[in-house]
Structure 1
Amino acid sequence: MNLVKAVGGIFLLVGLMMLAATSYLYIDQNDFIADAKEAEGQIIDLVRKQQNKDGNTSYTYSALVRFTDDEAVTHEFIDRVGSNPPRYSKGQDVILLYAPDNPADAIINDFWGRWAMVIIFGCLGTIFSSIGGGMYFWQVHKARTRLWLLENGTAFSVDFLEVQRDLGQSMNGRNPYRILAQGKNPFTGKLEQYLSKAVWIDPTEYLPDRKLRVLVDPNNSSRHMLDVEWLADNI
């Protein structure tokens, strides 16, 4: 399978799973808010969390909240949202929501307290599915275009120029190869260069002094391909 298509498919799948999780979280949070009881609480401390990325250390702060439920029982919970600078100050009073059957399950009753997790998963899911979907369906489109050109394209000959390493792709530390050729486009009359799709074995020994074939859409000369399908029979 094409590497870009495979990576795109994985990103798309992860993104769709995140979006599905977003839908679940949204419904679950709506149900929680509908059944929750409101109470007043106080920030009694700020919990610092350390994060290490690329050798850099950063910190986020989450509020530790104390409140008393309607049964006069005191509870504490840590706000699910961490930030830097902190969203609240020590000693600050807040309004919160808690589950009547499990008062330890509580959130600060503000926009981020209610919807932070939904927004985070939704944004990540949208990003992953957009990038992955773009990569995947672009490769599908390219594959369909190549198939159409093989079956319906007008062929003309071009001259082999060189084999290039494609440093923009890698798999297991290896880079694929692309064949560069040059010839006159019969539809435009211009001398143009044509780059093949990626191939994973060096085709150089099969190419010197060889004429190559370009297939072009006669109704749209920008749709073309350098035909390297014959390499599969030689490598």
Structure 2
Amino acid sequence: MKNSFFGIFFAIFAAVGTLFGAIGFLTWSADQKIKQNGIKTTGTVVSFSSSSKGGRAPVISFMTQSGESRTYYSSTYSSPPSYDEGENVTLWYLPNDPDEVVLSGLDSWLLPGIFGGIGLIFGAIGYGGFIWRWRRKRLNDWLRLNGQIIMADVVDVRYNTSLSVGGKHPWMIIAQYFEPQSQKVYSYESDNIWFNPAPFMSPGQKVTVRVSPKDYGVYEVDTSFLPKQGN
């Protein structure tokens, strides 16, 4: 059940990240198209429009190539405003549609930056989660085929307080193994268990741990002796 939850969780984040990333790219691409195909000119900040939250967006007056006076109302509000009244600004407009305008500076990168940044954060969580699960499964499959089996002593059963789903923490089995040749003690944590495993374990319980023969710190704790969790 919890594995399905995390699968859905990562899928939602990946989808949102992809959507916002696509919007950011399309917004940036549309602005670049206007810059490439439009006419570059200079306009003047003649006034500002205000938002309900106190931000101000510049109102730009400029002349087209044909000598027509046009006014562009930016939708990029900021506080303080990104330009001063009377300041000259560089802009691009489409000759067949002078209302399609891109300003230099904040106006041209704010929306792509916002959408792209949100897309990057959500995408990193979503796709990063899928990659982590895939790598973990690949490692576990390799350990089951090539790993060295050791029997580790259970020393604790406790909550994993670093993770919470619906206000509940999963449990972990903590085990230790003393390696006589190196005289080192290795500590192992099981994957998250979404019920208390203690009642299903006996005093002095040992658990099977599959470790890499070259690195006892690469491992998988076998919890297959526990009952399956119901839905």
Question: 1:141-166 CA deviation, whole Å, 9 max, x = no partner?
Answer: 11221222233322222222222111
CA–CA separation in structure 2 for the residues paired with 1:180 and 1:205: 15
Taking only aligned residues, the RMSD between alpha carbons, in angstroms, comes to 3.0
Shift of the 47–193 alpha-carbon distance from structure 1 to 2, 3 Å rule, reads same
Quick one: which of 220, 230, 233 aligns to 2:225?
230
1:1-235 correspondence to structure 2 within 5 Å = 1=3, 6-49=8-51, 59-70=54-65, 74-108=69-103, 110-185=104-179, 188-209=182-203, 210-233=205-228
Distance in structure 1 (CA, Å) of the matches to 2:66 and 2:32: 24
- Cα 1:14–1:22 shift into 2, 3 Å: same
Q: Name whichever of 92-101 and 220-229 sits farther off.
A: 92-101
Which residue does the alignment assign to 1:54? none
Whole-angstrom distance in 2 between the partners of 1:200 and 1:44: 63
Aligned counterparts of 1:178 and 1:2: Cα–Cα separation in 2: 19
Match of 1:56 in 2: none
TM-score in terms of structure 1 length: 0.78
The number of residue pairs the alignment matches comes to 227
Secondary structure of the corresponding residue to residue 225 of structure 2: helix
TM-score, with structure 2 as normaliser: 0.79
Structure 1 93/138 Cα, relative in aligned 2: closer, same or farther at 3 Å?
same
Distance 2:143 2:31 in 1: 51
Q: Percent identity?
A: 23
**What is the rounded CA distance, in whole Å, between the counterparts of 1:76 and 1:185 in structure 2?**
78
Matched position secondary structure for 1:229: coil
Q: Which runs of 5+ in 1 are unaligned?
A: 52-58
Q: Deviations over 1:97-140 (max 9, x none)?
A: 223333322232x2433344334433443343334433331222
Contact 1:39 1:96 in 2 (8 A): yes
**Partner of 1:84: helix, strand, or coil?**
coil
Give the C-alpha shift of residue 195 in structure 1.
1.0
3-state SS, counterpart of residue 82 of structure 2? coil
Unaligned runs of 5+ in 2: none
Following superposition, the deviation at residue 181 of structure 1 comes to 1.8
